Amino acid sequence: MDIGDYRPQRTPLVSPGAIDAHVRDMTVTVAADVTLGAVQAKLAEHQQWLPIDGDAATAVGRLVEVNSTGPLRLGYGAWRDLLLGVQFYNGLGELITAGGRTVKNVAGYDLTKFMVGQRGMFGTLVTITARTWRRPAGAVLATLPPDAAKLRGMIPTALRPQWAMLTAEALLLGYLGDERAADYYAASLSAEGVTVQRRTLDEDIAHRARLWRAIGDLRFRAAVPPTRIAQFVADAALGAWVADAAFGIVRGAATSIEHAQRIAASAGRVGGTVAFDAAYDGVAGLPRAVSDPAQQRLLTELKKAFDPEGRLRPLVF
């Protein structure tokens, strides 16, 4: 029996281009084609925001599909933590609704998280529902020498930052909150001899966006143990790079296919993995993000279930 025989087709929760903010519940339902910048502007009217990293000019559906989760994960969680529900079309054109508008919604399979990072291979997002946070009144930037060990010592203390980025030049720590919290962070860090800078939330977002990106045709996102970031960077012979010092996510770009293979091998040697954006666009010779045969078989079966006629984006490991 076809599912349509006993369950009526749902309709999108919001129309294209629409934003439905549930201010009291601190959640928002957004059409997948709405840009992150538009969502933030709407939420700012209610002193709320969606604490996720990503290009403000990019549609939120795309940001979910490529998993734009960045350094803000330390303070607010990743897309998989923020999302409460999604609606998407499978390969048969059926509208699938997963999750809901409330935080306590655990019915059925967790297809909401499954949509994060699937790049349109298993479904085309139509709407997303996410939890929101109170919009910070200000921000503090702390600049330290480029040693990730310093962050590990601060995480269990009152000076735990909301985000942390490591570059070859510095360890950057971001603190967000109301004015009282910002005053506390600035004073406490200064007392420790740390260089601090007060700034607005918009300045913090813009600065983080400039840093948290890779430039080049062979951009990659590696996941390595945080304690082995420096080893990976050196072994992979990376030029420009930036890392989420808390979670071991490293972004950069390879200079050639051979360099990409070296980067993948270096990630493997420290117990990590790497994915190249161009691999999903069919560039030959790039290392696979999923090399385990068992995982490949599982993904293949899932592809058959969600896209039996092959109408969606082809499966790429």
Nearest alpha-carbon partner for 66 in 250, 315, 277: 277
Start-to-end Cα distance in the chain: 33
Q: Are residues 241 and 122 in the same domain?
A: no
Q: Residue 1: helix, strand or coil by DSSP? A: coil
Q: Are residues 226 and 187 in the same domain?
A: no
Q: Are residues 130 and 145 in the same domain?
A: no
Where residue 251 sits, what CATH number does that domain have?
3.30.70
- Within-domain flag for 315: no
Which backbone phi and psi does 272 adopt, to 5 degrees?
A: -120, -175
Residue 191: is it exposed, middle or buried by C-beta count within 10 angstroms (0-12/13-18/19+)?
exposed
- Within-domain flag for 122: yes
User: Token match 């600049």: residue?
Assistant: 143
pLDDT average, residue stretch 297-316 = 94
**276: domain range?**
218-294
> What's the pLDDT at 107?
53
Question: Cα–Cα distance between 238 and 253 in angstroms, integer?
Answer: 8
Q: Residue 179: helix, strand or coil by DSSP? A: helix
- Within-domain flag for 270: yes
Lowest mean pLDDT among 175-184, 261-270, 290-299: 290-299
Residue range 22-36, pLDDT digits in tens: 999 999 999 999 999
Tokens in use for 86?
């999604």
Helix (H) / strand (E) containing 252 = strand 249-254
> What's the pLDDT at 104?
52
Nearest-10 Cα torsion for 232, 235, 236, 241 = 50
DSSP 8-class letter at 317:
-
Residue range 163-222, pLDDT digits in tens: 999 999 999 999 999 999 999 999 999 999 999 999 999 999 999 999 999 999 999 999
Residue range 79-96, pLDDT digits in tens: 999 999 999 999 999 999
Which backbone phi and psi does 87 adopt, to 5 degrees?
A: -125, 135
- Within-domain flag for 157: yes
Q: Are residues 231 and 120 in the same domain?
A: no
Q: Do 167 and 211 touch, CB atoms closer than 8 A?
A: yes
Provide the pLDDT confidence category of residue 102 given band limits of 50, 70 and 90.
Answer: low
Number of folded domains in the chain?
A: 3
Q: Are residues 130 and 147 in the same domain?
A: no
- Within-domain flag for 97: yes
- Within-domain flag for 314: no
